[in-house]
Amino acid sequence: MPPLFPIYPLPAAQNGILKRRTWAETEYPASLLTGIERIFGELLSPEQAVERVLTDVRQRGDAALIEWSARIDGAESPRLLVPKSERVAALGRLEPELRSALEQAAGRIAAFHRRQPAHSWMHVDEREGTLGQIVRPLAAVGVYVPAGTAPLPSSLLMAAVIARVAGVETVIACSPPDRSSGRVPDVILAAAEIAEVDALYALGGAQAIGAMAFGSETVPAVDKIVGPGGLFVTLAKRQVFGTVGIDGLPGPTETIVIADESADPEWVAADLLAQAEHDVLASAILLTPSRGMAETVQEEIAHRLERLSRAGIIAESLAQRGGAVITPDLDAAIAAANAYAPEHLCLSVRDPWALVPKIRNAGGIFVGETSFEVLGDYIAGPSHIMPTEGTARFASPLNVEDFVKRISLIGLTPAAAAELSPTAARIAAAEGLDAHAAAARERTDIGD
């Protein structure tokens, strides 16, 4: 039986748990494919199943939403919109300590993002005229809120609160109902009220993404869809991109902890376990030049696992996608982390700030052991909706820029137009665009 938390040399890890794979290389579990065949009546790939749902939602609206919710999520109620009165009542039923925690988190998320520069600018030159950018908030945004194996009110706050800070006029959310009760969990309803969401719909999966992308009799179409989700949500976002904007294609959560011999192995183990409990596909990886640290963390994880409620999920995640990697030194650990481009990068070393300038690729850097990732998940301030699957090489965590657009402003004087037109005409002629060149040449004397 393989160890619960394997220890690898760096070369083996680079061909194993640190190796990124493309969408085309994804291998789907047999149980997933069997479930698709049971729901759809034939053997389909996940991509084909999602396409079928999206097409039906686009063509039949509410009727398709209700039918697919019943077939996939077991939602028997034909009601899609959750009345505001239920949200208010759920907020009132919430334990005071939990309500206070959600409100504090919302306040810190808002305060952090209000500091982010996102403003219009104009440069005015007396002779040339005006050039600039106008920043406008998106008109309507949809937030997907996971609630499969566990309801995630934090994800709702981490998206909807930022949209409000950015000035988005209409913010809606979709979250699947609980299978046993047929209702969206109270904690999601309460979070929607705290975040001042305009409307919340009891919808999950690909059908929720289709509803927000195409609109239906009940659900309005939005300009952009944000928020994490499982495989079918991610595939649906991929397929509707272009009809609407999306924040990205977040995959299973992932974390890398870089630790030296000064780190507390109990804390390192706790942080790795916290990530592994999300999903069997989650990746929790330790990079360390200290074999003693790796072995102690391995022992601590085994000791703690039996006390955790999601032990089965954690064990599968750590055995298949996690582990400790022994590196020659901290610089090699940093190089491996930059190549992997993790969603979360935790620096549990003696001098963490000395490493920060060397980090090129990460969704978030957690500096030192008191800046542990769980605080980032809930309360620190930055959004926990971060780039995964190596996209931290070019993508950013969800932020104010995701909820605004920039409009170029061009207001040239006649003199500037006359001066620039010959240059424009020459470039247009080189491209073989005669009408462009003619339109420019006609302006060459307007400054006289």
Which residues participate in catalysis according to the annotation? 343-344
- Cα–Cα distance, 10 to 325 (Å, whole number): 6
Handedness of CA 256, 357, 14, 247 (dihedral sign): positive
- Cα–Cα distance, 92 to 335 (Å, whole number): 50
How far is C-alpha 402 from the chain's CA centre?
11
**Residue showing tokens 């047999």:** 30
What dihedral angle (degrees, nearest 10) is formed by the CA atoms of 4, 9, 10, 13? Answer: -40
Tokens for 225, please give them: 């869809």
* Helices (runs of H) and strands (runs of E) counted in the chain: 18, 15
The Cα-based distances of 238 to 70, 202, 283, 295 in angstroms read 24, 22, 22, 41
What residues contact residue 289 under an 8 Å CB cut-off, 6+ apart? 260, 326, 327, 328, 329, 330, 332, 333
Rg from Cα positions in the chain: 25
How far is C-alpha 329 from the chain's CA centre?
32
Burial class (CB in 10 A: 0-12, 13-18, 19+), 150: exposed
DSSP-derived secondary structure for 160-181 = HHHHHHHT-SEEEEEEPPPTTT
- Cα–Cα distance, 89 to 91 (Å, whole number): 5
**Cα–Cα nearest to 290, from 317, 257, 250:** 257
Tokens for 43, please give them: 């053997």
The Cα-based distances of 382 to 164, 171, 176, 242, 279 in angstroms read 15, 19, 25, 27, 22
- Cα–Cα distance, 158 to 364 (Å, whole number): 14
- Cα–Cα distance, 254 to 271 (Å, whole number): 11
**Contact status, residue 56 vs residue 216, Cβ threshold 8 Å:** no
Tokens for 20, please give them: 């990124």
DSSP class of residue 220? P
